[in-house]
């Protein structure tokens, strides 16, 4: 049910933002700087797939669910609960580097209830602090693999998320 609310946004985003990432990826420090620039940008920005999009690096942190992540920039704000509305900038890729959705490219942060998303996003967001930038590798079973959605990306998905603000419930 959580993912259904996100599904409508994803379908629209897939139609508008479907593109292949064919550019060379910047290094991790440049990516962090790029996220900051993109998040502050008022217009669309092209976003390249990160170098480690094929799978989580050895130094990634992992949860029991199979989620893996790296904190690219620490935050110092509030941590959302599942009941909180959040404002985020994000870009999503499949492990072959195909970008399938990006609020950054649209130039507009997304807002939604933290608990109304795919399981991997819910787990990730409820660990983050406002201002934090995190790259997360979400196993297919925590994303769209178990849904009857032919338009949704399948398998492990990689997202770069910036939790801009916790708006409350």
The alpha carbon of 38 is separated from its chain's Cα centroid by a whole number of angstroms, namely 14
155 φ, ψ (degrees, to nearest 5) = 80, -170
Residue 121: predicted pLDDT? 97
3-state secondary structure of 29: helix
Q: Give 109-121 pLDDT, tens digit per residue.
A: 999 999 999 999 9
Q: What separation, in Å, do the N-terminal and C-terminal C-alpha atoms of the chain show? A: 18
Q: Name the strand (E) or helix (H) holding 61.
A: strand 61-62
Q: How far is residue 110's CA from residue 16's CA, in Å, rounded to a whole number?
A: 14
Angle at 130 between CA 78 and CA 28, to 5 degrees: 145
Q: How far is residue 41's CA from residue 164's CA, in Å, rounded to a whole number?
A: 13
Could you state, in order of their start, the residue ranges of all structural domains in the chain? 2-168
pTM of model > 0.85: no
CATH architecture of residue range(s) 2-168: Roll (3.10)
Q: Give 31-78 pLDDT, tens digit per residue.
A: 443 444 444 545 566 789 999 999 999 999 999 999 999 999 999 999
Alpha-helix runs per DSSP H in the chain: 2-17, 28-40, 103-106, 119-125
Average the pLDDT over 14-42 and give the result. Answer: 38
């Amino acid at each position: 049910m959580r993912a259904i609310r996100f599904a409508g946004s994803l379908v629209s985003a897939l139609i508008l933002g479907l593109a292949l990432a064919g550019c060379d990826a910047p290094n991790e420090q440049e990516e962090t700087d790029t996220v900051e620039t993109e998040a502050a940008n008022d217009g669309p920005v092209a976003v390249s797939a990160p170098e480690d999009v094929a799978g989580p690096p050895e130094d990634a942190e992992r949860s029991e669910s199979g989620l893996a992540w790296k904190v690219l920039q620490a935050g110092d704000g509030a941590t959302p609960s599942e009941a909180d509305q959040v404002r985020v900038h994000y870009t999503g890729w499949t492990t072959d580097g195909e970008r399938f959705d990006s609020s950054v490219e649209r130039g507009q942060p997304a807002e939604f209830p933290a608990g109304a998303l795919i399981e991997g996003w819910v787990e990730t967001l409820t660990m983050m602090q406002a201002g934090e930038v995190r790259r997360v590798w979400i196993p297919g079973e925590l994303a769209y693999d178990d849904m009857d959605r032919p338009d949704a990306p399948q398998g492990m998905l990689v997202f770069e998320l910036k939790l801009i603000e916790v708006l409350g419930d």
